Chain A
Amino acid sequence: MLVYLLQRLAVLAATLLAASLSVFAVMNLLPGNAAETILGPTATPEAVAALSHKLGLDQPAAIRYVHWIGGALRGDFGLSYAYGSPIGPLIASSLSVSAPLATLAMALAAFIALAAGVYAADHRRRTGDAVVMAASQVGFAVPNFWLAILLVIVFAVTLRLVPAGGFPGWEQPMLALRALILPAVALGVVQAAILTRVSRSALLEALNEDFMRTARAKGVSRRAALWRHALPNALVPILTIMGLQFANLIAGAIVVENVFVLPGIGRLILQSISNRDTLVVEDCVMIIAIIVIGLNFVVDVACAAIDPRLRNPVA
């Protein structure tokens, strides 16, 4: 396991390096520059040159890259052009909303998907299975931000049970959690639709294995065999897809935060785009990439811990 862990750590470091190079390249090396974007199309060349100098954009790309990464490693993400304040605390504050939202949504998605997936696999080719599969098909087709708007129409506009949006801050934890429930449902239900299909097919795969026949032959009940033998064996593909889906969940959170006016990383990115605050966007995208890549690393290691065969890539 230690050798596997070291190999995976090396791949993680290489992937993070490649991610940082890609983000930097897209934001800095393609034609056009941040100073032109910030000042707009009417800016004079002199003004663009002055701002380029102030932002350090007139330095060679390699130096700017080293400066950016070096600063980030020391916790210095640079200064926001629009807010005039350090970017690190801005991102930290937005993550204090986005991270609990994504976690809640993923937990909800996993709960619904496992329950529905087990039920569908257990009732294969019966009405219950067909209903679950049809519901997941519809769930997959619904855009999460539209579901979010529908939830606002029902629970805020019609029933007036919750506010239509906003976030009271973590000083009032219960109110803060309440503000995250509808966004988490909007994000989680759509993710659950995808995960349910994965759970069902992974379970059906496991149900056909020899060890299931052995367990049943030894007298283990159908339900016990499903929960104790099939589910743990189906967890590897389910966890892997959950890891891959997390990137889409974060992307979905960017949109859903906008529906509920939550001050998360999605709002920060959009405000920074409209403020033409390129460095904030660059840092936020990099942070999201680090979270996604890091989470997939954790999923890979967790899968290897569950299934020792995965530790040897040749096997």
Chain B
Amino acid sequence: MRLGSRVDVSLWLGAVLVAILLAAAAISFVWTPYPPAAIDIPHRLAPPSLAHWFGTDSLGRDVASELLAGSRISILVGVVAVGIGLVFGVALGLVAALSKGSVEDAIMKACDFVFAFPALLSAIMLTSTYGPGVVNAIVAIGVYNVPIIAKLTRATGNGVLGREYALAARAAGRGPVSIAFDHVLPNIAPALIVQATIQFAIAILAEAALSYLGLGAQPPQASWGRMLSEAQNVLFNAPMLAVYPGVAIALSVLGLNLLGDGLRDALDPKLKARA
């Protein structure tokens, strides 16, 4: 009873936080208190007030508007980077699980190898050659997601391929592609959804770090990481400017992680029993 309620708390708290993140992004497309990039030097570093809920930054931009608009870039990077990871990772993982032998070995070795290059390092390499920008950040984070999804797909896919219904399908003459789409994918989907949620959270953290370093979103694009970087220059005058974007990042990541944990426990009763 106690365990069940803890799982529900994770799931619901996570779902609420993620819903707030998505709502913030959706609202920012139609309404923000002020244009997020509107500079207003006479009102720079204004404290929180009814006119500016979280005050203004060093260029007089409305912090609440920037926070709302900043959620867009986090979601964009998360969705595309996880999408890249899912498309290529699932394909590679399925090929590894279905082919076995040296192909499986080579794919898994390549996956281990990519782990030596965290998203940030890959983004640094891409940025130093092609200049900073969101696209490079997305590619770097997406590439790092591929081996994680590929390893999970192979491990869970191998489990499904050993089950009676998969063996029966093979005995009935079904080809590997048909088995992959009709039997493996539907059965490993829950595990993939949970991992995708966690990778989404990691992508938000990586995007924030890259934008903080000036390698991700470029002005005038609003980004939580870039807001933190700018806030650091006025830390002694307006320390709270460095608090709001950090809270936004942490709550988004916390929400996605809780949602992932809650989903895993809800979708896999065996794990729930062991928790």
Contact = CB atoms under 8 A, between A and B. Distances in A.
Interface of A: 15, 18-19, 22-23, 26-27, 30, 32, 34, 37, 125, 130, 137-138, 140-143, 145-146, 149-150, 152-153, 157-158, 164, 204, 244, 247-248, 250-252, 254-255, 258-259, 269-270, 272-274, 276, 278, 281-282, 285, 288-289, 292-293, 296
Contacts of B130: 30, 32, 37
Contact of B129 (A32, A152, A251): A32
Majority SS at the chain B contact face: helix
Given A27-B128, A138-B254, A141-B201, A244 B243 contact: no
A166 to B, nearest CB: 14
Interface string B125-165: 11111110000000000000000000000000000000000
Interface string B5-41: 0100000000000000000000000000000000000
Interface of B: 2-3, 6, 113, 115-122, 124-131, 201, 205, 208-209, 212-215, 228, 231-232, 235-236, 239, 242-243, 245-246, 249-251, 253-254, 257-258, 261, 274
Contacts of B209: 143, 145, 251-252, 255
Contacts of B116: 15, 19, 247, 289, 292-293, 296
Given A27-B128, A145-B209, 14 more contacts: A18-B113, A22-B117, A27-B129, A125-B2, A143-B249, A146-B242, A153-B243, A204-B274, A251-B121, A252-B209, A273-B215, A278-B129, A281-B124, A281-B125
Contacts of A272: 128
A37 B131 contact: yes
Contacts of A30: 129-130
7 A-B pairs with least C-beta separation: A146-B246, A141-B254, A251-B120, A141-B253, A251-B118, A281-B128, A153-B239
25 contacts: A15-B116, A22-B113, A27-B128, A37-B128, A137-B261, A141-B201, A142-B246, A142-B250, A143-B209, A145-B208, A145-B209, A146-B228, A153-B239, A158-B239, A244-B115, A250-B121, A251-B121, A258-B212, A270-B214, A273-B127, A274-B214, A281-B125, A282-B125, A285-B121, A288-B121
B129 A164 contact: no
Contacts of B124: 254, 269, 273, 281, 285
Contacts of B128: 27, 37, 272-273, 276, 278, 281-282
A137 B129 contact: no
A27 B113 contact: no
A282 B116 CA distance: 15
B11 to A, nearest CB: 13
A22 to B, nearest CB: 7
Given A15-B113, A278-B128, A296-B116, A143 B246 contact: yes
Nearest to A41: B131
Contacts of B205: 143
A145 B126 contact: no
A4 B239 CA distance: 54
Nearest to A204: B274
Contacts of B113: 15, 18-19, 22
Nearest to A274: B214
Majority SS at the chain A contact face: helix
Given A157-B239, A251-B118, A270-B213, A140 B257 contact: yes
A157 B125 contact: no
B17 to A, nearest CB: 10
B242 A149 contact: yes
B7 to A, nearest CB: 12
A40 B240 CA distance: 37
Given A19-B113, A270-B213, A152 B235 contact: yes
A250 to B, nearest CB: 8
Contact of B249 (A146, A150, A247): A146
**Most central of A19, A146, A274, A293 by chain B CB within 10 Å:** A146
A153 B235 contact: yes
A31 B235 CA distance: 40
A163 B119 CA distance: 31
A244 B117 CA distance: 11
A34 B118 contact: no
Contacts of B201: 141
Nearest to A284: B124
